[in-house]
Structure 1
Amino acid sequence: MSAKLDDDTGTSQTVRVQLKLRELIVGGELKAGSRIAELTLVDLLGASRTPIRMALVRLQEEGLLEALPNGGFAVKDFSEADIHDAIEVRGTLEGLAARLAAERGVTSVLLAEARDCIARIDELLAQPELSEDSFNGYVEQNGRFHDLLSEMAGSDLVARQLERAKTLPFASPNGFVLARSTGPDARDTLVVAQAQHRAVLDAIVQREGARAESLMREHARIAHQNLREALQSHQSLQRLPGASLIRRRATR
Structure 2
Amino acid sequence: MTTSDVLLTADADGVRTLTLNRPQAYNSLTVELKERLLAELRAAAEDADVRAVVLTGSGRAFCAGQDLKEHVGLLQANDPAPLHTVSDHYNPIVHAIMDLPKPVIAAVNGTAAGAGAAFAYASDLRIAASSSSFLMAFANVGLGPDSGASWTLQRLIGLGRAAELMLMARTVDSAEALRIGLVGEVVPDEELAARAQSVAAKLAAGPTVAYAKIKHVLSVAAQSSLDDALAAEDAAQTALGATADHTEAVEAFVGKRRPNFQGK
- Whether the TM-score (by the shorter chain) exceeds 0.5 is no
Q: Give TM-score, length-normalised by structure 2.
A: 0.25
Q: Give TM-score, length-normalised by structure 1.
A: 0.25
